[in-house]
Amino acid sequence: MVLLTTTRWYRFASLMARPINAMRISLHPQGLAPQIVNLGEWRAHLLARLRQQVEATGDAKLAELLREVSGYPAPEAAAAEHAAAEHAIVVPFRIRTAAGVLAFFSTTTVFGTPVDVTLSELMVELFFPMDRATADAVRRLAQRTEARAAA
């Protein structure tokens, strides 16, 4: 859904090498980070969630990912903003797109005790429009996509 220029897509594409990781894509300076309007707040939120996962699981790969993404350049933000984002129930995701600044909130589901081992620790995050302007923009983009697919 996020529209990138050809140049930005070329730089972004290098982050799409396997294993693809949403944290890396979101926070890397050649990924979405320059387009995230509230990067300091969003970054603090993501790092807090990742830190919780590392503490809960002791997973070495997650710990390495935390070290990596924590090292990416970040805007200087007030300590209060970081603390608020780390403990907030809802942190908005505001991104600059060709359709304007869009605002979303997300919900995350973790399948911690599934019957099927292939679902173990599966995490699904869904983003929802946070305001009417974003909902309208997403609807217009979806309609354009459907029209192109039908043509």
User: Is 124 part of a structural domain of the chain?
Assistant: yes
User: Is 1 part of a structural domain of the chain?
Assistant: no
Q: Which domain holds residue 67?
A: 6-150
Query: Which residues fall within 8 angstroms of residue 133, CB to CB, at 6 or more apart?
Result: 100, 102, 103
Report the mean per-residue pLDDT for the chain. Answer: 81
Q: Which of the pair, 141 or 3, is modelled with greater confidence? A: 141
- Per the structure, how many domains does the chain have? 1
* 19 prior amide bond cis, ω within 30: yes
Q: Which of the pair, 3 or 135, is modelled with greater confidence? A: 135
Q: How confident is the model at residue 80 (pLDDT cuts 50, 70, 90)?
A: low
**DSSP 8-state code for residue 36:** B
pTM confidence score: 0.79
CATH number of the CATH domain containing 84: 3.30.450.180
